Homo-oligomer: A and B are copies of this chain.
């Protein structure tokens, strides 16, 4: 009985890793689609999000079935409940990657990102993908040190976000309102994506160390803080 239980638990963990892989790939491809104004690639990212949603739905069903059948307590119970939360983070990350891809589609055949911001957006996209890859690795390895690295990476994302705002708020901004709106939203998408990756990693830390949940809330993006320093 315990073996069947741990097999089920492993399969939930594997689904989480697969979701992290899919959404990490999605944010990378969405960024490329946007910078290259590649409509086909954008469409493929938009369509692929269904797979992430299906995985989450399936995972939730299995987690609830497992709670009902096995009635885990203590650490085991915490693992299942935490898995449900991680899957919600990952599903939402997939939505955010899809938002980026939809913006690429909307502005096609142009890129929504002006030339002088492409390097910054590329960096944000790459960093987002890296954060999610690390989050996936943290789920597999339960490596607390690696999990803590994600916070440093997230600081880097905050810096990139501020750079974006500095461009936006610069009097020499010459790309008009539509592009300002697009870039504002993009900045938020990447920042939130990173927050969810950090949140996944922190939840693993919580499982491993039992550290208090208050310290495990994802850093809430505070756009106003970014604006104020811009």
Task: Return the contact of A223 from the options B85, B99, B217, B225 (Cβ within 8 A).
Answer: B99
**Contact status A81-B67, CB under 8 Å:** yes
**Contact status B184-A224, CB under 8 Å:** no
Task: Name the B residues within 8 Å of A103 (CB-CB).
Answer: 223-224, 227
What CA separation (Å) do A196 and B118 show in the bound complex? 33
**Contact status A181-B227, CB under 8 Å:** yes
A64 near B: Cβ within 8 Å? yes
Q: How many copies does the complex hold?
A: 2
Per DSSP, chain A at the interface is helix
Given known pairs A177-B169, A213-B57, A224-B99, the reply for A67 and B68 (CB within 8 Å) is: no
Q: For residues 160 through 200 of chain A, which have their beta carbon under 8 Å from a beta carbon of chain B?
A: 165, 168-169, 173, 177-178, 180-182, 184-185, 188
A105 near B: Cβ within 8 Å? yes
Task: Name the B residues within 8 Å of A224 (CB-CB).
Answer: 99, 102-103, 105-106
Task: Name the B residues within 8 Å of A165 (CB-CB).
Answer: 181
Interface 1/0 per residue, A219-230 and B, CB below 8 Å: 010111101100
What CA separation (Å) do A181 and B176 show in the bound complex? 12
**Contact status B64-A77, CB under 8 Å:** yes
